[in-house]
Structure 1
Amino acid sequence: MLLQLQPPVHLTYCLNVHPGESWGEQFRAVREDAVRVRQAVAPGRPFALGLRLGCDAATELSRDDRVADFGEWLAANGMYVATVNGFPFGRFHGTGVKEGVYAPDWRREERRDYTIQLARILAALLPEGAGASISTVPGSFRDWIESASDEDAMAARLVECAAELARLEREHGRCIRLALEPEPGCFLERVGDVIRFFNERLFRAGPEAILRRHIGICLDTCHAAVMFESPERVLRQLGAEGIGVFKVQLSAALAARNSATTRGALAVFAEPTYLHQTAAQAGAFWSDLPQALAELERRPEGEEVRVHFHVPLFWEGDGALGSTASKLTPAFFEMLRGGVAPVLEIETYTFHVLPPACRAEDLVGSLVREFEWVIAKGGWGSADMRGG
């Protein structure tokens, strides 16, 4: 949905919350769930989609006339694609994903080719003159990068991808941008990592103007919060460097003050599907929650701990545990209203592994509450929200 016309800001939610790897399963989520969300939060108005297309779904959608058919369905049903989550290449639900979610990384041609396939799908779906973004892995998992040649390989694949994005814009009039998503424990983890890699590697590896236009960042506010980074400061620093922010994912991390009580409460979240990187305010870092729990009893009582476990934006905590949603301040939302990023995407993909006490009973109901939370916090009234 278009939150405001000037500057244009779109709000959607990421469909990676819906299980399913095939295009049929993803399309069913659009028809059955996204339609219900739209009816609740934007009845009668065009509704933005944040598609999630893994490699299998992208390949299926690219066959025959399926993209054209989907485009016709979107037009008939008042929906449009604002962004695609191109982060998970393979299966994302119902199995142990953990650090496998980063593979193949940006050293690999498979990652480049998959991303280009997503871009071609977008080019076929978008109206002429429109734009959209693709979010992707933060280069690689940190432990996999061992040398400067690994960094050069990532830069080379990104340059090749940018060249194809530039060609699509030149020949088809659709501007598609790739947004690397910094994440705890990854090659791009903090804003300083982004600035260093972009300035020292990426922008020196190919045509800088093309790279700046087509390669930028997706700021996930949960990821930034885990690393105790202020989203406002991240946005200001990226802006000062001329690095584009093509999407902001609105999300919240678990937060707690270290104690026996909170450690017991956190243990409930140590589930086997996703990687739950954990950081302490004094600087300690663990690649997953079980490792953190094994050591936190030797850490100072009362030290703040944050966990990469996306919790609903509206969840205010249970006494022992809280969330970082409060770090999304009025100043942050003022920057969003100023158009610092064209697309805002609610992302709480963990719904199906959340303890029941932390979520609504119904997924669609939970998503609707998150939309309402964002709209209220951002101060977007009915006069701002118009079709588009």
Structure 2
Amino acid sequence: MDVKGFHLSYCSNIHPGESWDATFQNLKIYIPEVRQRLKAEGPFGIGLRLSHQASLELEKPERLKEFQVWLRQTNAYVFTLNGFPYGDFHRQIVKEKVHFPDWTTVERKDYTLRSFQILSQLLPPGMQGGISTSPISYRHWFKTKEALKAGMETATAHLLEIVEELAKIHKNTGKLLHLDIEPEPDGILENSDEMIWLFKNWLLPKGKHQLSQKLGISEREAEDLIKTHIQVCYDVCHFAIVYEEPAETFAKFESAGIRVGKIQISAALKVLIPPSANGKFSLGKKLQAFAESTYLHQVVARLDDGKLNSYSDLPQALDVLPDTKEKEWRIHFHVPVFLEDYGSFSSTQETISIVLKEILSNPEITQHLEVETYTWEVLPQGTRQSLGESIARELAWVRERMG
């Protein structure tokens, strides 16, 4: 839905189901309900999550036509896709498998190209469209510098194929599409510096000459193509976990010529560590409710001197809690954005408010906003509501914060 010129929606990865039939059925149920709860007028934007399986089914002309008809009848439109999770994302152990297959594989490239072909046919005229994707891979899969370098060589080649295809789509249809890479704790790209490293050390030096030769354009034009069709997905939760300040991060991206294709509005769990042994023991017991087995819940800890320690999952952090001298933990757990605290814990909700103020003062940062809270099923019982009510409440909270 339109909020002050921004496209605001929620990411449909909140709904279980890998087939297109399951995905479409959830949209039919929840899009009308959420719209009604919000009393939203005008076209209603959808942040669509397509699994690999669903994309294979939706690319069939008859299925795509059926969806297009439904969008018109419902007065809805698709402006962004979540192409990060390739396969199953609900009701089973996901953990680091959320990165598989990664950008070193043909499977990831082909799935993304297919998703862009679908988006190009769904996107309304005159509107940009983006697909968020993984931060290249899971860094702990690469045990040596040589392995990482080889992985980055292959991943860069695949990303440049995406740029080439998106340039063709833009030329042939006039529709501007971009791949929005999403830094995440323990991804190869975790923060703004590493996102800039991707462009400076890999995409630009490798791609300028290659695209210039293949497309018959200057290297300056090739650089512009790369920066147009490869952008960043700024997940507020992820950047808050690594303690980045939004204004500084946006300024760094602007200085490097990197665009923000989409902002995913999400909140991380924030915990202040008590100094006493009893306090730490009590905290550890309460945090056990969040140490569930489905998703990775990376922890980034801050010490008094500002240094950061990282843990690949919450259980590893809990193991060191009794003896830690850390002062604060930020935990990769997408808690509801409309709740500021959870009893003994709080969230990084304030960072969302800061981000919204930044984009309101500078709308050129991005126009695509997508609420992404997908862990409702594993949240403590006291924080749960019906799914439709929860989605609407999240969007209403964002809309209110935007004035």
Q: TM-score range by the shorter chain?
A: over 0.9
Contact 2:77 2:124 in 1 (8 A): no
| Aligned twin of 2:343 | 319
2:137 equivalent among 109, 119, 140: 140
| Aligned twin of 1:290 | 315
Deviation string, structure 1 residues 73-127 (Cα, Å, up to 9, x no partner): 1011110001000000000001100000001111111111100000000111123
2:389 equivalent among 365, 369, 376: 365
- Give the drift of 1:300: 2.0
- Give the drift of 1:129: 3.1
| Aligned twin of 2:4 | 4
1:247 equivalent among 254, 262, 286: 262
Whether 1:231 aligns to 2:246 is yes
| Aligned twin of 2:290 | 269
Question: Counterparts in 2 of 1:101-112, with a 5 A limit?
Answer: 101-112=98-109
Instruction: Compare 210-219 and 232-241 and name the one that shifted more.
Output: 232-241
Whether 1:336 aligns to 2:359 is yes
- Give the drift of 1:276: 0.4
Report the secondary structure of 1:174's partner residue.
Answer: coil
Rounded Cα–Cα distance in structure 2 between residues aligned with 1:192 and 1:152: 19
Q: Tell me: higher relative CO, structure 1 or 2? Use CA pairs within 8 A at least 6 residues apart.
A: 1
Contact 1:12 1:48 in 2 (8 A): yes
Question: Counterparts in 2 of 1:1-388, with a 5 A limit?
Answer: 1-5=1-5, 9-145=6-142, 146-206=147-207, 207-258=222-273, 259-282=280-303, 283-300=308-325, 303-330=327-354, 332-337=355-360, 338-339=362-363, 340-359=365-384, 361-379=385-403
TM-score under structure 1 length normalisation: 0.93
Report the secondary structure of 2:290's partner residue.
Answer: coil
**Higher helix fraction (1 or 2):** 2
Q: Could you list the runs of 5+ residues in structure 2 that have no partner in the other structure?
A: 208-221, 274-279
Contact 1:68 1:124 in 2 (8 A): no
Instruction: Compare 150-159 and 203-212 and name the one that shifted more.
Output: 203-212
**Equivalent AA in structure 1 for residue 249 of structure 2:** V
- Give the drift of 1:42: 4.4
Rounded Cα–Cα distance in structure 1 between residues aligned with 2:386 and 2:356: 27
Q: Superposition RMSD on alpha carbons, in Å?
A: 1.3
Q: Could you list the runs of 5+ residues in structure 1 that have no partner in the other structure?
A: 380-388
Identity of aligned residues (%): 40
**Equivalent AA in structure 2 for residue 2 of structure 1:** D
Contact 1:138 1:183 in 2 (8 A): yes
Deviation string, structure 1 residues 207-228 (Cα, Å, up to 9, x no partner): 3121111001001011111111
**Equivalent AA in structure 2 for residue 137 of structure 1:** S
Contact 1:261 1:320 in 2 (8 A): no
Rounded Cα–Cα distance in structure 1 between residues aligned with 2:234 and 2:86: 19
Whose Rg is larger? Answer: 2
Cα distance change of structure 1 residues 374 and 117 upon mapping to structure 2, 3 Å threshold: same
Rounded Cα–Cα distance in structure 2 between residues aligned with 1:59 and 1:42: 34
Report the secondary structure of 1:268's partner residue.
Answer: helix
| Residues matched between the structures, number | 373
Rounded Cα–Cα distance in structure 2 between residues aligned with 1:105 and 1:318: 34
**Equivalent AA in structure 1 for residue 357 of structure 2:** E
